[in-house]
Amino acid sequence: METISLKLELLNPTKAKKEMYKEMTNINTSFANWLLEYQGLKDATSKVYKLFSDGKFPSAIVNQTIREVKSKKNNQKAKVFRRFWCGFNNQNLKVEKENNLYKVSFPTLEKRVGVPVVIETYQTHWLDKVLEGKAKQGAAELYEKKGRWYVSISISFEPKIPKFESIKPPIMGIDVGLNYLAVAMVGTTSLFFKGNEAAFIRRKYASKRRVLGQNKKLDAIRKSKNKESQWMKELNHVISRKIVNFALENGVRLIRMEDLTGIRKTAKSKKEAGRNLHSWAQYQLQTFIEYKAKMEGMEVQYVNPYNTSQMCKCGYVDKNNRNRHLFQCGKCGYKSHADVNAGLNISKCVSGISKKKKAS
């Protein structure tokens, strides 16, 4: 069973709603701290709330808090909870879909509310799985961060176990980089994601920040950085989804990617060091590919990156084999797109499985 946590922002809650969520959190925090000291915690049911307060509080939250305090008391030495967000089990917080709009409904101090949520493209995939019964919704939590309210929902799913087949299923190799954000190879079939548009947009953000820097507009710089990483994240979600779909169409059971952690440390040239600035985005893309692939029951491996861009399929290794986008073997004359060749070498795992980085 694999579990992920989905964070959904509540769409424009009114001031009154925000105040109520805050009040619920305050009550729940006091109640959780009271429970820590309560002698009968072991056998507590929702009825103990009456011992704590005369006020009304949704029994769904009471039950969840009792459950969580029990397990937290056993697992850690929590003396006092600074804040205890309201939690709900899957019966009490429900995900709903109406005309392609997603809502969550849960009990509050007043009544049950159904609130629309802000959805990122990739999240619809998960919510639909929950609604179709293909993934299981676990506990959820109502929390606040920087004035915005969210619900986080844990979702677990059974990765499909690949069946044994007599024919070896094809292996996909994925090269992530700058000129091409990703090149995915299955046999001789390839899928390219060009990097020039992304590079253009990132340059625009960078030059805008230079101007802001000259004017010492630190707040605006931070906002611009957030906007850029949000934009990159969306793009990585789209690319990773397309790659995993491409893998599914081709019957892939195993995806291989390079372990890029070593490259970061051993950057030898300025150009290579420039790669580091982009490494977080590449790392994020690999992470997204990995979890989406696993959700479809595929296996993911990280391979050592040495020689992947310099080795020919005849086995000859030479750094002169590669000249920017072109790969041409100095021994047998084989010609190919450099990233396609690298993708193939990654799928063949020419330098072995990485010992440092394992698929999580």
From residue 266 to residue 305, the character string flagging contacts with Zn ion as x (rule: CB under 5 A) and all else as - is ----------------------------------------
Of 190, 334, 351, 359, the one binding Zn ion by CB under 5 A: 334
- DSSP letters for 128-163: HHHHTTSSEEEEEEEEEETTEEEEEEEEEE-PPPPP
Residue 326 in contact with Zn ion, rule: CB under 5 A = no
> Does 316 participate in binding Zn ion (rule CB under 5 A)?
yes
Residues 6 or more apart in contact with residue 222 via CB below 8 angstroms: none
* Binding span for Zn ion by CB under 5 A among 22-30, 156-164, 249-257, 330-338: 330-338
Residue 314, interface with Zn ion (CB under 5 A)? yes
Q: Give me the 64-103 binding string for Zn ion, x by CB under 5 A, dash otherwise.
A: ----------------------------------------
Within 8 A by CB and 6+ apart from 207, the residues are none
Q: Given the complex with Zn ion, which of 26 and 323 has the nearer CB atom?
A: 323
Query: CB of residue 339 vs Zn ion: minimum separation in angstroms?
Result: 17
- Tell me the C-alpha distance between 354 and 18, whole Å: 48
Instruction: Kindly indicate which of the ranges 225-233, 278-286, 314-322, 342-350 contains the residues binding Zn ion, using the contact rule CB under 5 A.
Output: 314-322
In the complex, least distance from residue 342 CB atom to Zn ion, rounded to whole angstroms: 14
Strand partners, 175: 183
User: Does 344 participate in binding Zn ion (rule CB under 5 A)?
Assistant: no
Q: Which is nearer to Zn ion, 75 or 188 (CB)?
A: 188
Strands 2-10 and 112-118: antiparallel
| Cα distance between residue 326 and residue 334, in whole Å | 11
If the CB atoms of residues 249 and 318 are measured against Zn ion, the closer one turns out to be 318
CA–CA dist 170, 302 (Å, integer): 16
DSSP E strands, the chain? 2-10, 86-88, 94-98, 101-107, 112-118, 136-145, 148-157, 171-176, 180-186, 189-194, 254-258, 299-303, 322-323, 326-328, 335-337
Report if residue 332 touches Zn ion, rule: CB under 5 A. Answer: yes
Q: Which of 117, 293, 329, 338 binds Zn ion (CB under 5 A)?
A: 329
CA nearest neighbour of 221 among 231, 213, 229: 213
Taking the CA of residue 109 as centre, how many other CA atoms within 13 Å lie in the half-sphere pointing to its CB?
14
Binding string to Zn ion for residues 165 to 204, with x set by CB under 5 A, is what? ----------------------------------------
* Closest distance to Zn ion from the beta carbon of 310 (Å): 11
Helix axes 218-249, 270-295, angle to 10 degrees: 50
Cβ atoms within 10 A of the Cβ of 104, count?
A: 21
Residue 81 vs 327, nearer CB to Zn ion: 327
Q: Cβ of residue 303: shortest distance to Zn ion, in angstroms?
A: 20
Nearest approach in angstroms of CB 344 to Zn ion is: 12
* Unique residue bearing structure tokens 């915690």: 41
Instruction: List contacts with Zn ion (CB under 5 A).
Output: 312, 314, 316, 329, 331-332, 334
